[in-house]
Amino acid sequence: MENHNKILRVLNLIGLLEANPPKNIRFLAEHLNTTERTIYRYLDLVAEIGLNVGRDEQNRWFIPTNGMGDNLRFTPEECDLLFRLVASVGRKNKLHNSLLSKLRESQLVSPHAGLLLNAHIGQVVEQLSGAIQNGRQVVLKKYHSLNSGNVLDRLVEPIRFTDDYKSLAAYEISTGKCKLFNVERMTGVEVKKTAMKFRDKHRYQTPDVFGFVPNGRRYKVQLSMKMRPAVLLKEEYPMAAPLIKYDHKKKKYHFEAEVHDLKPATRFVMGFPEEIKVIGDDNLRAALLKKVKNLVGNV
């Protein structure tokens, strides 16, 4: 658990350093609830794994970002090595040089660091990780559900996080179903002493870029957009980032993905009516037309 806590702190530190403005050592130590000496050790570690750590004239630290790296993809083995490197092991691994080379040009840790930037979320992730490791049931305290509009405690057996750490896959005991729960909508987590009882029912289905698991429906979303919605789409849905390509001839960003629910795409397009053009599919066009008719009818 000690190495896990160190990983969370280092990822949190990277997020702080990437966010403007630059920070001094005292601020970093207070925010991460550790000592200034430890912060200096973490800075050395961050630099060692290949990130460019800078310091301004006021002795404030930062990591310059260039927005590049969307087209660079890491193998699962390299991702695993990264986290073990953060825990100060694996330096002689044969993947070491390859990983360091990609890290110099990529922001692989950004989705994790951005999520863990919030201290509360970092604590929630840490508690859930411990519950998964120890096989314990947990209560998601006052979980805010967008589907039902309710704020309720949910007794679940956590299975695993999605790759971007935005959601937790868990078996909900009251409904007998495996669901995805958004980490940011959890007010808190209570780890129970009760051991997991329904492991045979645990299932993990890879969600689409908007976080919906397979449900028997498939839609192909194709959008052409300007820079502003493209940037916001990456920020709001990090898993969409690799699917956003820049068309140099048209000077537009193109997004294409297969999804299981059209609600997120519909809401997103409605927010940028003059900056997004829907290329496909017809189901998305129909959903947007229905939305507009309901909006006009309610005025």
CA 274 to CA 223: how far, in whole Å?
13
Lowest-pLDDT range, 7-21, 108-122, 191-205, 213-227?
108-122
Answer with the residue of higher pLDDT: 116 or 236: 236
Please tell me the predicted confidence (pLDDT) of residue 22: 84
pLDDT score of 2 more than 70: no
pLDDT score of 110 more than 50: no
Residue whose entry in the numeric block shows the structure tokens 């190495």: 3
Please state the rounded mean pLDDT for residues 126-132: 89
Please tell me the predicted confidence (pLDDT) of residue 182: 87
Percent helix, strand and coil across the chain, each to the nearest 5: 40, 25, 35
Please tell me the predicted confidence (pLDDT) of residue 12: 79
Please state the rounded mean pLDDT for residues 224-250: 89
CA 143 vs CA 158, 161, 173, 182, 275: distances in Å? 14, 16, 15, 9, 34
Is the alpha carbon torsion for 60, 8, 48, 239 positive or negative? negative
* Whether residue 44 has a cis bond before it, omega within 30° of 0: no
- Residue among 46, 194, 184, 59 at smallest CA distance from 123: 184
Q: Are strands 177-182 and 276-280 parallel, antiparallel or unpaired?
A: unpaired
Answer with the residue of higher pLDDT: 167 or 89: 167
Local structure of 286: helix, strand or coil: helix
Residue 255 CB contacts under 8 Å (≥ 6 apart), including other chains: 221, 222, 223, 224, 225, 230, 233, 240, 243, 244, 245
CA 116 to CA 112: how far, in whole Å?
6
Please state the rounded mean pLDDT for residues 34-39: 89
Please tell me the predicted confidence (pLDDT) of residue 111: 45
Answer with the residue of higher pLDDT: 81 or 145: 145
CA 217 to CA 208: how far, in whole Å?
12
Task: Quote the percentage of the chain above a pLDDT of 90.
Answer: 37
Answer with the residue of higher pLDDT: 111 or 37: 37
Alpha helices by DSSP H, listed for the chain, are 2-18, 25-31, 36-48, 76-86, 96-103, 110-116, 119-134, 227-236, 263-270, 282-297
Q: pLDDT (tens digit, 9 = 90+) per residue, 49-82? A: 777 888 888 888 988 865 444 444 445 445 555 5
Residue whose entry in the numeric block shows the structure tokens 């299975």: 159
CA 283 to CA 47: how far, in whole Å?
48
Mean pLDDT (the chain, rounded): 80
Please tell me the predicted confidence (pLDDT) of residue 73: 46
Please tell me the predicted confidence (pLDDT) of residue 3: 54
Please state the rounded mean pLDDT for residues 126-148: 88
The size of the chain, in residues, is 299
CA 129 to CA 160: how far, in whole Å?
8
Q: pLDDT (tens digit, 9 = 90+) per residue, 181-198? A: 988 888 889 999 999 999
pLDDT score of 200 more than 80: yes
pLDDT score of 240 more than 80: yes
Which domains does the chain possess?
Answer: 2-116 (1.10.10), 119-201 (2.30.30.30), 219-297 (no CATH)
pLDDT score of 261 more than 60: yes
Q: Tokens in use for 42?
A: 């973490």
CA 174 to CA 154: how far, in whole Å?
8
Lowest-pLDDT range, 3-17, 152-166, 241-255, 276-290?
3-17
| Side-by-side strand order, sheet with 219-225 | 244-247, 252-259, 219-225, 276-280
pLDDT score of 98 more than 60: no
Write phi, then psi, for 90 (nearest 5 degrees). 75, 25
pTM of the model: 0.53
Q: pLDDT (tens digit, 9 = 90+) per residue, 5-32? A: 677 778 878 878 887 788 889 888 888 8
pLDDT score of 282 more than 90: yes
DSSP 23: B
Cβ-contact 95, 103 below 8 angstroms? no
**Confidence band (pLDDT; 50, 70, 90) for 115?**
very low
Local structure of 160: helix, strand or coil: strand
